[in-house]
Amino acid sequence: MAAAPEKSAEGEESPKKKGPGLIVWILVSAISAGAGFFVPSFLHSSGDHGSDLDEAKAKEKEAADTKPVFIEFGDIKSPLNERIPTFIALHIKLHVDARNEKDVQKAIDERRPLLESWLLSVLADKDLEEVRGTAGQNMLRREILDHFNSVLFADGYDRIYEVLFTDFIFSQQ
């Protein structure tokens, strides 16, 4: 049989307590939040310091492997699409990782005639305004970069990171 609710002296029922008080819940919340904030920092700092040296060596080796290398593509001279005969002369270098240098060089050597022919055709379709200035040069660099990577590497992994112009000369004849 259930216990009868307590009655006060005036005959009213007193309310039942339903659990821990508000102060207890505030304390539990504060302790939980503090533990969640500080415990991860204690766990991280108590790790093995020898592994930090191994990680540093691995990063150093990776940095040495990703050293930039510049492959000479060479000189290109092409007429531009102008009424007055105007030529553009470019000297191109390709920025690649040291890890990929041999693969990129081999691919370029195997397909150089295709790349040069494409490049001459693209330049012959351009007029002076399309290749003049920083914006024009950057658009041409990007076009060459995209085409070279797609022709040389069918797997979709770009091994050429940047096309550099070391000479960019216009001449009229």
Would you give per-residue pLDDT tens digits along the chain (173 residues)?
555 555 555 556 666 666 667 787 787 777 877 777 776 666 655 555 555 667 766 666 665 556 789 999 999 999 988 888 889 999 999 999 999 999 999 999 999 999 999 999 999 999 989 998 999 999 999 999 999 999 999 898 899 999 999 999 988 87
| Segment (H or E) for 135 | helix 133-152
The CATH code of domain 66-172 reads 3.30.479
Question: What confidence score (pLDDT) does residue 23 get?
Answer: 81
Are the C-beta atoms of 163 and 148 separated by less than 8 Å? yes
pTM: 0.62
Question: What confidence score (pLDDT) does residue 156 get?
Answer: 85
Q: What are phi and psi of 121, to 5 degrees?
A: -65, -45
CA–CA separation, 106 and 104 (whole Å): 5
Max Cα-Cα span within the chain: 117
Are the C-beta atoms of 55 and 47 separated by less than 8 Å? no
Question: What confidence score (pLDDT) does residue 89 get?
Answer: 93
Residue with tokens 């992994």: 157
Strands (E), the chain: 68-79, 86-97, 160-172
